[in-house]
Amino acid sequence: MKTLDVEKATAPLAQYVRGVKKEPVIVTAHGKPVAVLVYIASADVERATLSTHPKLLAILKHSLARLKAEGGISSREMRRRLGMK
């Protein structure tokens, strides 16, 4: 994966974006990742926005923690609870 130090990024943004079809570019500041340039031709604006939305990420984090702590339910049980066959 390609990395780019934001302090050394002197080319126009368009030049960096052209390369993301081949591989994502991790943007770093002081050696730590702060952003990523990634090709999203198969995604729409809404999907790209939701994938980084703080509230959605918090819900997903909470759900994963609960799944690890309590376990999940089977698809059969979910269909039963929803009254589906």
Task: Give alpha helix (H) positions in 1-85.
Answer: 13-18, 45-50, 54-70, 75-81
**Domain range annotation of the chain:** 1-39, 43-85
Q: What pTM, to 2 d.p., does this model score?
A: 0.55
Could you read off the pLDDT tens digit of each residue along the chain, which spans 85 residues? 789 999 999 999 898 888 888 889 999 999 999 998 988 877 778 887 888 889 999 999 999 999 999 999 999 999 999 999 8
The pLDDT assigned to 48 comes to 79
Q: For domain 1-39, which architecture applies? A: 3-Layer(aba) Sandwich (3.40)
